Structure 1
Amino acid sequence: MKRTAPKSYTAIYDAIFSRIVQGQFRPIHRIGITSLAQALGVSTTPVREALRQLAGRDLVVERHREGFYLAPLNARAIVSLYDAHEYWMDRALQHALCGVVRAGRHRSLWRSFDSRAAATSDVAIMSIRRYLDDRLAVVRRHESAMLSNMGERAMAFAEALARDDPSVARDLSHSFHEDCRQMAGQLASAFEGQGHGP
């Protein structure tokens, strides 16, 4: 089956980011630019540029004369990232907003976090929260596997936002972030042991 090459730089970046989030690379293995370019059906130049941009977002690291590697993420770093994310979500929840999220079926707590941050129109909140979300995206699938009630949390958080009840939303956010901090060691172990691809 022949793959269609991504048409834009954004599509190439997104494809590589998606592979990172899906756990196709391990921190100890070099990301093969040539094999990744072949898998995407593009030249190595846009792949290298996308990897440099991902390095700027701390998702990969570029080692001089060695290449690109998935950025390491230990338990202490994971705790710090969840601490920072919780802080910025608290800031987003302090903004008085009405009717930002409609009640209903919300499958992703992270999408609700993103919606709330975007609704503030505060550039600092949106930018920093997006950075933290991207950095934590590499453990998201492990997080979902370890927290069996993610759907219920997402629904409760979205309903609190729809009722314009930031106090309840904040309590739910704090509970989620605390649970994630408690399992930071497990998340780090799962991240370190994930499979690798091209």
Structure 2
Amino acid sequence: MDNGALPRLRAGPGTSPAENETVTPWVLVCNSAAGNESWQDETVTRGQANLRRQSGAQAVYELMRAKIILGEFRPGARLTEPELASTLGVSRTPVREALRLLIAEGLVDQLPTGGSRVTPLDPADIRRVYDIRARLEGLLARDACTRMTQPDLDALARLIDLMHRLRGDETEVLRIGREFHARIAEIAENRWCDQLLHQIRGHVDRYRSLSTREPGRPDLAVTEHQAIYEALASGDPERAEQAMRVHVEQSANSAAQAAGAVPG
């Protein structure tokens, strides 16, 4: 037997450690009647079960979140655990945990009756979210402008070129636009802005998908991204910030108009 740290002995038949207790991975179980010792890796087994449960809940959360953002779960729609579990082909446990995460993110409302619903769209709320986004992304553009290298500009130029070539494809314009913004944030290296934007990311993504529904909006977005790129290339931080804010504010106008046409 190893003379190092001894494993913790089980207190008795049928007992188990508390769920949150730190337990030595290998538990020695003494069978006094038979005089035998057997080893059971109880902690690893329990940890694997927790990991599977957490992974399942995360997958359900991401799927439900995507359906809310894309409008497949309509604003104001009631959400019930049994129906969601049946529709998604999972048990109620990951659905319950996913709903908890979505409520914390503000994409789902907890009702006084104990049920839940997709958070309704509110044009006034859209304005508030986009005002915060405009300020934060404007700051990121300003910071990125002062740190921009030629390889950075080349990478952004390739995205702009791709956006121009696919400007008739709403889905692709949206995807490339997200990549463009993410690249600017990466160049800026402003951790605090990133963290604050992350807190409203679910709402930004939801309203961003709305903004592209306005006829002609994807085409205008390409022009606005071109203006942001040119401002960054000019080396003028104030111009870069202003171009980004104009783009976000125009997106807010489109999203608010689209929200007014969506029931709920």
TM range (shorter): 0.7 to 0.9
How far, CA to CA, are the matches of 2:58 and 2:110 in structure 1? 20
Partner of 1:4: none
Q: Which runs of 5+ in 1 are unaligned?
A: 1-6, 194-198
How far, CA to CA, are the matches of 1:144 and 1:91 in structure 2? 24
- Equivalent residues of 1:109, 1:157 under 8 A apart: no
Q: Residues 134 and 111 of structure 1: is their aligned pair in 2 closer, same or farther, counting only changes over 3 Å?
A: farther
How far, CA to CA, are the matches of 1:186 and 1:46 in structure 2? 35
How far, CA to CA, are the matches of 1:33 and 1:119 in structure 2? 42
Per-residue CA deviation, residues 134-190 of structure 1 (Å, 9 max, x unaligned), is: 212222232012213223333443465466554443232222223234345413213
Q: Secondary structure at the match of 1:28?
A: coil
Q: Whose Rg is larger? A: 2
How far, CA to CA, are the matches of 1:11 and 1:163 in structure 2? 43
Identity of counterpart residues, as a percentage?
Answer: 26
Q: Residues 66 and 110 of structure 1: is their aligned pair in 2 closer, same or farther, counting only changes over 3 Å?
A: same
Task: Check if 1:98 corresponds to 2:148.
Answer: yes
What is the number of residues matched between the two proteins? 188
Q: Secondary structure at the match of 2:109?
A: strand
- Equivalent residues of 1:52, 1:62 under 8 A apart: no
Task: Check if 1:111 corresponds to 2:183.
Answer: no
RMSD of the alignment, in Å? Answer: 2.7
Per-residue CA deviation, residues 78-126 of structure 1 (Å, 9 max, x unaligned), is: 1111110001012212323223451213443333223322433333211
Q: Which runs of 5+ in 2 are unaligned?
A: 1-54, 161-172
Displacement of 1:43: 0.9
Normalised to the residue count of structure 1, the TM-score between the two structures is 0.79
| 162-171 vs 73-82, greater mean Cα deviation | 162-171
Relative contact order, higher structure (CA 8 A, sep 6+): 1
Normalised to the residue count of structure 2, the TM-score between the two structures is 0.61
Q: Residues 18 and 184 of structure 1: is their aligned pair in 2 closer, same or farther, counting only changes over 3 Å?
A: closer
- Equivalent residues of 2:78, 2:116 under 8 A apart: yes
